[in-house]
């Protein structure tokens, strides 16, 4: 039995005075934390993947708004609301696809709107950020139970990217379901795509599962078709960065291909995400902005060019899985089975 406590992995923390992030770019070789005292630094950390994963980005942005409020109060006193704007804008510009970022900033703005100009906004902003943080962990536990119940005992699962403690405030979304299903004896083994080009699967998901003593086998995503053909997995379980009103779901690039393969092979396809990932303003997946990242992420490995000189690269960080390929969307407010045709907005009522 492992003595390792996955809740002790804290991608995002508040030290009492600063935002502390676990630098995920250095895992699993090194576990290094960075302390940030400005929202502009936090925006850079989000853009550069120090912190990544939709819910973790949202929690980090909420704490960054606290730092912005502190700086604005010191600089501008009662004019703090106006003085916060550049920092809030820098956060909103950091990454485009994970809607949890915009959800968290919207929540912080609502709190700001209710505050008097004459008082330091930091205590109220901090309470709001801590509320977002705590609710995320509780929501993940709930999703773990709801999602695990869909997996019949005796089936193994495949996951993609990292939707674990590192991508959230703790426990994880897709990995939360996998943790709960393993604890209940429903699954015995996890297959994890290595997830090019950032290798969130091999660096982060495998690291989390190994520490939890959950057996994990990595594969290149190109091997997933063969894995399914051999009948080795009953479910694909993934997280999400943005879910449109009709259930179309943006997640790490490669997810859409897995959904097509799963349908072809009769394998279940489950999306696990908090309701803060639902974007009711996006009618369908075509309204979801997809982040394009630099060519060098594909052309290089560990800073060394591996691709033929002269070749270019197309590097969308996410793709959209149509709702009709999804068997279940699991949220902390309940499950929508077969969202194709009816969408997910009933979860927001
Ligand atoms: C619970 S996290 C779900 C998704 O955010 C995750 O699968 C993913 O796509 C993360 O992408 P990343 O580019 O690492 O931020």
b/e map 170-206, b = 16+ CB within 10 Å: bbbbbbbbbbbbbeeebbeebbbbbbbbbbbbbbbbb
Spell out the residues 6+ positions from residue 287 whose beta carbon is closer than 8 angstroms to its own.
244, 279, 281
Question: If you measure from the C-alpha of residue 194 to the centroid of ligand 1, how many angstroms do you get, rounded to a whole number?
Answer: 13
How far apart, in whole angstroms, are the C-alpha atoms of residue 65 and residue 40?
Answer: 10
By alpha-carbon position, which residue is closest to atom 10 of ligand 1? 53
How far apart, in whole angstroms, are the C-alpha atoms of residue 47 and residue 34?
Answer: 15
Q: State the chain's mean pLDDT as an integer.
A: 96
ipTM of the complex: 0.98
pLDDT tens, residue by residue, 298-316: 999 989 999 999 999 999 9
Check the annotation: does 109 bind a ligand.
no
By alpha-carbon position, which residue is closest to atom 9 of ligand 1? 252
Which CATH code fits 145-348? 3.40.50.10470
Residue 113's pLDDT is what?
A: 97
pLDDT tens, residue by residue, 241-269: 999 999 999 999 999 999 999 999 999 99
Question: If you measure from the C-alpha of residue 56 to the centroid of ligand 1, how many angstroms do you get, rounded to a whole number?
Answer: 9
DSSP, collapsed to helix, strand or coil, labels residue 156 as coil
Confidence bin at 5 (pLDDT 50/70/90): low
Q: What residues are paired with 320 via a beta bridge? A: 250
Residue of 136, 193, 241, 327 marked catalytic:
241
Instruction: Report the predicted TM-score, pTM, of the whole model to 2 decimal places.
Output: 0.96
Annotation marks residue 241 as catalytic: yes
Domain with CATH 3.40.50.10470 in the chain: 145-348
Which CATH code fits 6-137? 1.20.120.420
Residue 9's pLDDT is what?
A: 75
Angstrom CA distances, 199 to 160, 183, 302, stand at 10, 26, 11
Check the annotation: does 246 bind a ligand.
no
Q: What residues are paired with 257 via a beta bridge? A: none
pLDDT tens, residue by residue, 145-165: 999 999 999 999 999 999 999
Q: What percent of the chain lies above the pLDDT cut of 70?
A: 98
Check the annotation: does 52 bind a ligand.
yes
Domain with CATH 1.20.120.420 in the chain: 6-137
Task: Indicate which atom in ligand 1 lies nearest the CA of residue 173.
Answer: 1
């Amino acid at each position: 039995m492992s003595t390792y406590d996955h809740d002790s992995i804290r991608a995002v923390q508040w030290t009492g005075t600063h935002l502390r992030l676990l630098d995920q770019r250095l895992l699993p070789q090194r576990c290094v934390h960075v302390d940030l005292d400005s929202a502009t630094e936090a925006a850079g950390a989000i853009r550069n993947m120090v912190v990544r994963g939709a819910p973790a980005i949202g929690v980090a942005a909420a704490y960054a708004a606290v730092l912005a409020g502190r700086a604005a109060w010191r600089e501008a006193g009662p004019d703090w609301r106006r003085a916060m704007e550049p920092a809030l804008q820098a956060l909103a510009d950091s990454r485009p696809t994970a809607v949890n970022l915009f959800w968290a900033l919207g929540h912080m703005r609502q709190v700001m709107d209710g505050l008097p100009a004459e008082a330091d906004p930091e205590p109220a902003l901090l309470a709001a950020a801590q509320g977002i943080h705590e609710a995320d962990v509780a929501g993940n536990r709930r999703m773990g139970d709801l999602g695990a119940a869909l997996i019949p005992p005796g089936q193994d699962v495949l996951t993609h990217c990292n939707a674990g403690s590192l991508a959230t405030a703790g426990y994880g979304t897709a990995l939360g379901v996998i943790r709960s299903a393993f604890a209940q004896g429903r699954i015995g083994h996890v297959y994890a795509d290595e997830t090019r080009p950032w290798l969130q699967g091999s660096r982060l998901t495998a690291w989390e599962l190994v520490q939890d003593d959950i057996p994990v086998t990595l594969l290149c995503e190109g091997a997933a078709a063969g894995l399914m053909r051999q009948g080795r997995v009953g479910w694909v379980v993934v997280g999400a960065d943005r879910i449109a009103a009709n259930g179309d779901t943006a997640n790490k690039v490669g997810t859409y291909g897995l959904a097509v393969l799963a349908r072809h092979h009769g394998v279940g396809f489950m999306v696990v995400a908090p309701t803060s990932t639902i974007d009711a303003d996006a009618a369908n997946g075509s309204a979801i902005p997809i982040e394009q990242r630099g060519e060098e992420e594909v052309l290089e490995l560990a800073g060394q060019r591996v691709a033929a000189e002269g070749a270019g690269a197309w590097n969308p960080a996410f793709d959209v899985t149509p709702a009709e390929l999804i068997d279940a969307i699991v949220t902390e407010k309940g499950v929508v089975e077969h969202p194709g045709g009816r969408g997910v907005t009933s979860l927001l009522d």
